């Protein structure tokens, strides 16, 4: 086996393999590969997000992430590129812990806490499934009118649906709608759960993912009149006009409090789905697994349910 390449050699070769402007992941563009001590950080832009992000690369571990030992620089570089592709492709930009590190936002662990009893589906304005999904949400007791109206008006930024993470891929249990116009803050127009039994972790997760989708779409901030006290865990702060807002750097997210909320929700013996895990009815933890399952099980029937969080009024 060839001797392990030095860190400086790996950084130099990584810089050559990933020059500025080269694609990384589905929606990323490399800004720079920078040495940080004996390690490296890959700086990138993501979709239309105005922020620059940095993904730390531990060069000591680069050769053992997948294969256990690499025999060439080419294999080391390939493993790093695969690592970046998989992490970015499974939502790293939205789920990672964020920290300002000079001129970029570092993406690191641990991830934003997730209630794996539920999963989310992101619908963009150009989706050809809007009407079909609207029918499914009506069946499961929610009102898709705000999402459909904003799509027709050309102001829909994203529509995020939550559903029970089981072998049926349903029912739908919540939705978030974000609208916007260029040059203005995006608006968290609606945050809705289908019934009282759905835990508030779902509302928080919907607001979290929808807000990050607004950042990905290029918006600098999100405003809302939705009355959810837990929004401050996402960095929302009150404005003088009674609305709440957050900038899309999301540097003030409070993962600690969100983790406590999730732990309390899972400890509740009467909580939604508390008996389903015992039957192993819930799916794997990765977004691709949930996305593929959602494609296989797009709809599920159900009875009408009450609203617990909903505010269709835009901030003035």
Structurally, how many domains does the chain consist of?
A: 2
Is position 2 within any domain?
no
Asked whether residue 193 falls in the same domain as residue 274, the answer is: yes
pLDDT reported for residue 306: 29
- Sort residue 85 into left (φ over 0), alpha (ψ -120 to 50) or beta: alpha
For residue 111, the tally of other CB atoms under 10 A from its CB is 16
Return d(Cα 58, Cα 228) in angstroms, integer: 39
Asked whether residue 35 falls in the same domain as residue 96, the answer is: yes
Asked whether residue 21 falls in the same domain as residue 102, the answer is: yes
Is position 209 within any domain?
yes
Domain boundary among 57, 82, 108: 108
Residue with tokens 């999301």: 250
Asked whether residue 12 falls in the same domain as residue 135, the answer is: no
Return d(Cα 62, Cα 64) in angstroms, integer: 6
Is position 308 within any domain?
no
pLDDT reported for residue 286: 60
Cis peptide before 282 (omega within 30 of 0): no
Contact 309, 188 (CB under 8 A): no
Asked whether residue 22 falls in the same domain as residue 101, the answer is: yes
Is position 252 within any domain?
yes
pTM of the entire predicted model: 0.83
pLDDT reported for residue 37: 78
Asked whether residue 157 falls in the same domain as residue 273, the answer is: yes
Q: What is the largest CA-CA distance in the chain?
A: 66
pLDDT reported for residue 7: 72
Is position 302 within any domain?
no
Asked whether residue 251 falls in the same domain as residue 167, the answer is: yes
For residue 182, the tally of other CB atoms under 10 A from its CB is 7
Asked whether residue 35 falls in the same domain as residue 143, the answer is: no
Instruction: List the pLDDT tens digit at each of the 316 positions of the chain.
Output: 555 667 777 788 889 999 999 999 889 999 999 998 778 899 999 999 999 999 998 876 544 333 334 556 777 788 888 889 999 998 999 999 999 999 999 999 889 998 888 899 999 998 888 888 998 898 888 899 999 999 999 999 999 999 988 777 788 999 999 999 999 999 999 999 988 788 889 999 999 999 999 999 999 999 999 988 899 999 999 999 989 999 999 999 999 999 999 999 888 766 666 554 434 345 455 656 655 655 554 433 333 232 333 443 444 4
List the structure tokens of 166: 């089981």
pLDDT reported for residue 93: 95
Is position 316 within any domain?
no
Q: What is the CATH number of the domain that holds 168?
A: 3.40.630.30
Asked whether residue 254 falls in the same domain as residue 205, the answer is: yes
Asked whether residue 15 falls in the same domain as residue 135, the answer is: no
Domain boundary among 81, 108, 135: 108
Is position 162 within any domain?
yes
Asked whether residue 141 falls in the same domain as residue 280, the answer is: yes
Burial 235-257 (b: 16+ CB within 10 A, else e): bbeeeeeebbbbbbbbeebeeee
Structural domain of 217: 118-296
pLDDT reported for residue 4: 60
pLDDT reported for residue 80: 85
Asked whether residue 134 falls in the same domain as residue 210, the answer is: yes
pLDDT reported for residue 308: 35
Is position 301 within any domain?
no
Contact 51, 75 (CB under 8 A): no
pLDDT reported for residue 165: 81
């Amino acid at each position: 086996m060839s001797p392990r390449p030095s860190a400086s050699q790996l950084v130099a070769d990584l810089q050559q393999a990933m020059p500025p402007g080269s694609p990384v992941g589905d929606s990323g563009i490399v800004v720079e590969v920078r040495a940080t001590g004996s390690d490296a950080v890959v700086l990138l832009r993501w979709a239309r997000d105005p922020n620059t992000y940095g993904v730390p690369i531990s060069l000591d571990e680069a050769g053992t992430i997948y294969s256990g030992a690499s025999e060439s620089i080419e294999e080391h570089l390939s493993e790093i590129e695969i690592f970046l592709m998989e992490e970015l492709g499974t939502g790293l930009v939205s789920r990672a812990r964020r920290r300002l590190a000079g001129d970029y936002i570092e993406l690191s662990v641990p991830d934003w806490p997730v209630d794996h009893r539920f999963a989310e589906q992101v619908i963009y304005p150009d989706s050809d499934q809007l009407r079909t999904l609207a029918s499914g949400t009506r069946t499961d007791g929610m009102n898709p009118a705000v999402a459909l109206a904003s799509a027709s008006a050309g102001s829909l930024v994203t529509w995020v649906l939550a559903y029970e993470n089981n072998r049926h891929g349903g029912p739908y249990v919540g939705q978030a709608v974000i609208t916007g116009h260029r040059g203005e803050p995006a608006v968290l127009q609606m945050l809705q759960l289908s019934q009282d039994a759905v835990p508030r972790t779902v509302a928080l997760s919907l607001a979290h993912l929808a807000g990050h989708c607004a950042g990905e779409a290029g918006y600098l901030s999100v405003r809302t009149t939705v009355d959810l006290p837990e929004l401050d865990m996402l960095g929302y702060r009150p404005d003088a006009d009674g609305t709440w807002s957050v900038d899309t750097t999301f540097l003030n997210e409070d993962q600690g409090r969100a983790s406590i909320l999730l732990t309390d929700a899972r400890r509740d013996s009467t909580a939604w789905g508390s008996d389903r895990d015992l039957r192993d009815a819930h799916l794997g933890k990765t977004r691709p697994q949930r996305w593929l399952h959602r494609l296989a099980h797009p709809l599920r029937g159900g009875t009408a349910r009450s609203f617990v969080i909903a505010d269709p009024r835009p901030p003035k």
